[in-house]
Amino acid sequence: AQTVTQSQPEMSVQEAETVTLSCTYDTSENNYYLFWYKQPPSRQMILVIRQEAYKQQNATENRFSVNFQKAAKSFSLKISDSQLGDTAMYFCAFNAGGTSYGKLTFGQGTILTVHP
């Protein structure tokens, strides 16, 4: 069974600064995707970024980038130039095909607060 662990229940950062959220996972699968989802106070689940396990290059989406360490099973999210609108709960999630049929397994979440 797959597990996803986020060890930081809460983080805070000043506006315009950089923050990194941590995530570790455990799986025996070889073909999988990793994601970061953002859940702002509106409770909408918004896809932030995706990393495909077979790709060595770290994914980047504007101010969001990941540090994917496959051997260490680590998948951290770096937010650069933090904005007030980045305040949200962030979930790390794992998805493999095969016997898990593509269901998402989520971490516990990290509450990020961006201060002005």
Partner 1 sequence: DSGVTQTPKHLITATGQRVTLRCSPRSGDLSVYWYQQSLDQGLQFLIQYYNGEERAKGNILERFSAQQFPDLHSELNLSSLELGDSALYFCASGTTLAGGPDTQYFGPGTRLTVL
In the complex with partner 1, the residue whose CB is nearer, 64 or 106, is 106
Using CB under 8 A, pick the residue from 25, 35, 75, 90 that binds partner 1.
35
Is 90 a binding residue for partner 1 by CB under 8 A? The answer is: no
What residue type is assigned to position 27 of the chain?
Answer: T
Sole window of 15-23, 30-38, 56-64, 70-78 interacting with partner 1 (rule: CB under 8 A): 30-38
In the complex with partner 1, the residue whose CB is nearer, 13 or 111, is 111
Angle value at C-alpha 101, between 93 and 77, nearest 5 degrees: 15
Q: Cβ of residue 65: shortest distance to partner 1, in angstroms?
A: 18
Q: How far apart are CA 84 and CA 39, in angstroms?
A: 14
Q: How far apart are CA 24 and CA 3, in angstroms?
A: 8
8 A C-beta contact, residue 101 and residue 49:
no
In the complex with partner 1, the residue whose CB is nearer, 15 or 61, is 61
Cβ neighbours around 44 below 10 Å, total: 10
Which residue ranges make up the site for partner 1 (CB under 8 A)? 31-33, 35, 37, 43-47, 50, 52, 91, 95-98, 100-106, 108-109
